[in-house]
Structure 1
Amino acid sequence: MSDAQPQPVPVGMPAPAAPPRAGSAVGGFFVDLAIAVVVMLAVSFAAFAGWGVLRAIQVAMQGEVDPGDADALMQAIGQPGGVAMIWVTLLGTGTAALVPYVFRRRASAAERAASRAAARRGSTWGWVAVTATVVFALSALATTLARQFGVEPEPTNQEPIRQALAASPWFVGLFVVLIAPMYEELLFRRVLFGRLWAAGKPVLGMWLSGIAFALMHEPPGMTGNPWPSAMLLWAVYAFMGIAFAWVYRRTGTLWASIAAHALNNALALLVLGSA
């Protein structure tokens, strides 16, 4: 598919008198992404610091450790568990999605009305089912084939989710199936992909937002996977991002990409829980 062909204006998005230039839209994409990364890091750092302070107070109140013994205190505080990690992710990434949306890519009343109308079409939910099924099936197939060659990809967020699932299954289910798809789609599809879609560059938007989606889930240098596994995970996450952007554009409503994302996550959580 070539971006050189005329592209339709997104559903519900009033056609501008002069479409944004592709160059300025790409620049805007990276500004939005930079804002999201900075906000996510700042909020996550604050959340971890807050957790550490609360945990230190808890340890001090128990009276089992001398507050003047820094090494013993740090050992008693320990590391955040799975539930705490999910709360940090929720605060950090959720805020990172809301800030660029509210201040740079907020939907107009016309866009919201068109999105609601698209969500009422039966065909929208057919495309949701097809997209989620294809994404989940191809992801599972890629993982299965990789294991035949000795590559064992394990998403970085899998172990915290597994730990949290044992401690608080209802909270984890709510987060994985409902909350995370909503803020991730708001950031990666509405804000990042949507900017290039509006500029007449939807294919470029799919690729760039898909790559950003992959790198946000498996940050280079921070993933615990060896390079072959990390590259496979990047490819799988990028494909997911492209597929969710495609169903968003195909149906004209962000609710479609949220639902496809949620359905994929629900299937993955069922597999993880049964392992």
Structure 2
Amino acid sequence: MSDVPSPSGALDATRSTLPLRSVLPAFAIDVALAIALSFSTLMLGLFGWAAWRGIQLAQRAGGTPDAQALQAQLGTPPVLFLIVMTLVSTGGTALVLYLWRRRATRAERRASLDRLRNARTWIWALVAGVATFLFSTLMSAAGRLWLGLDLEPSNLDLIKDGFARYPLFLALFAVVLAPLYEELLFRRVLFARLWQAGWPMLGLVLSSLVFALVHELPGLNGKPAGSTLFLIAVYAGMGGIFAWVYRRTGTLWAPIAAHILNNAIALAVLQVYGDASV
């Protein structure tokens, strides 16, 4: 796992700032590659499942079944398959882009280990994790009570169903695996590219916006425009906190730990109260 050389924003000013005309195209390529890789992997998985399911139904029916009847019987993929495909498509994309586009140098890895020995790194991670949960909770509560918005995350039903059927695997996925690959992709690959080029605030804004759109894409989440925009703002704020703690500590393990803590609290609240913030 990788990090950038400077542990705090104070050292950013000592770096040369690269022109945006050379930085933004690289950032755009990262985003385009992430979309293409994750979407194509997910589609391949869904097509594979549909073909396998179709063969099963055809064998049960005997002979050559009617195409429309077969399509109606396909149904939807099981929840475990959807969770695994999310892990493979997004997690695989994060790993590929990290190794291909943003692999850590030996000096960066050494600096990361040094910062893990600093107690302040873990204090900042703890503060960021709790702050992220409180931010999303308070924002969601305000949006529901004052604006009457539907702020249930699009993936909440999948999480509830997955936890009911496969509690240990869902907990591992939501609390550990998802934070690992999301921080690798959104903070190391996307945010750190602009940070290292001398544009940390622009990197924070753009990477957080991409992070938010991945979670709530307008037109595809089945929610009204107002609810979608509010959810995007909440997710972007969460991404901004993770990017900030990465920049503050200089180690990617800090936002990973903060993300893990946020998800663990949210999952615990979901199980106790049957509802959770974003």
TM-score (normalizing by structure 2)? 0.89
Q: Render the CA deviation track for 1:50-104: whole Å, top value 9, x for unaligned.
A: 111222233344x257642223322332101322211121111112212221111
Q: Secondary structure at the match of 2:198?
A: coil
Q: Cα deviations across residues 141-189 of structure 1 (Å, max 9, x unaligned)?
A: 1111111132121111111111111111111111101111111101100
Aligned residue for 1:48? 46
Equivalent residue number for residue 115 of structure 2:
118
Structural mapping, 1:83-162, within 5 Å: 83-148=80-145, 149-162=147-160
Q: In structure 1, what is the Cα distance between the partners aligned to 2:208 and 2:15?
A: 29
Which residue of 223, 226, 229 maps to 2:227?
229
CA contact (8 A) 2:42 2:89 kept: yes
Partner of 1:3: none
1:216 aligns with 2:214: yes
Partner of 1:35: 33
Contact 2:15/2:198 (8 A) holds in 1: no
CA distance in 1, matches of 2:40, 2:22: 27
Q: 2:71 aligns with which of 47, 71, 74?
A: 74
Matches of 1:269 and 1:65 in 2, distance apart?
Answer: 45
Is 1:259 the counterpart of 2:257? The answer is yes
Verify the 8 A CA contact 1:81 1:163 in the aligned structure 2.
Answer: no
Q: 1:19, CA displacement in angstroms? A: 5.2
Say if 1:83 and 1:163, in contact at 8 Å, map to a contact too: no
User: Among residues 55, 58, 62, which one is paired with 1:57 in the alignment?
Assistant: 55
CA gap of 1:243–1:18, structure 2 versus 1, over 3 A, is closer
The alpha-carbon distance between structure 1 residues 139 and 99, as it changes in their structure 2 partners (threshold 3 A), is: same
With over 3 angstroms needed to count, the CA separation of the structure-2 counterparts of 1:145 and 1:102, relative to structure 1, is same
In structure 1, what is the equivalent of residue 186 of structure 2?
188
The total of aligned residue pairs comes to 266
Match of 1:4? Answer: none
Change (3 A) 1:251 1:74: same
1:229/1:18 CA distance change after superposition, 3 Å: closer
Q: Which moved more, 1:142-151 or 1:236-245?
A: 142-151
Measure, in 2, the Cα distance between the counterparts of 1:249 and 1:166: 37
Looking at structure 1, the residues matched to 6 and 33 of structure 2 have their Cα atoms a distance apart, in angstroms, of 24
Change in 2 beyond 3 A, CA 1:72/1:139: same
Aligned partner (choices 194, 206, 209) of residue 204 of structure 2 = 206
Structure 1 gaps, min length 5: 1-7
Q: Is residue 164–residue 172 contact of structure 1 (8 Å, CA) maintained in 2? A: yes
Q: Distance in 2 between matches of 1:135 and 1:163?
A: 24
Q: Which sits farther off after the overlay, 94-103 or 209-218?
A: 94-103
State the distance in 2 between where 1:64 and 1:168 align: 31
Q: Which residue is 1:197 aligned to?
A: 195
The whole-number CA distance in structure 1 between the counterparts of 2:69 and 2:217 is 32
Q: Which amino acid aligns with 1:116?
A: L
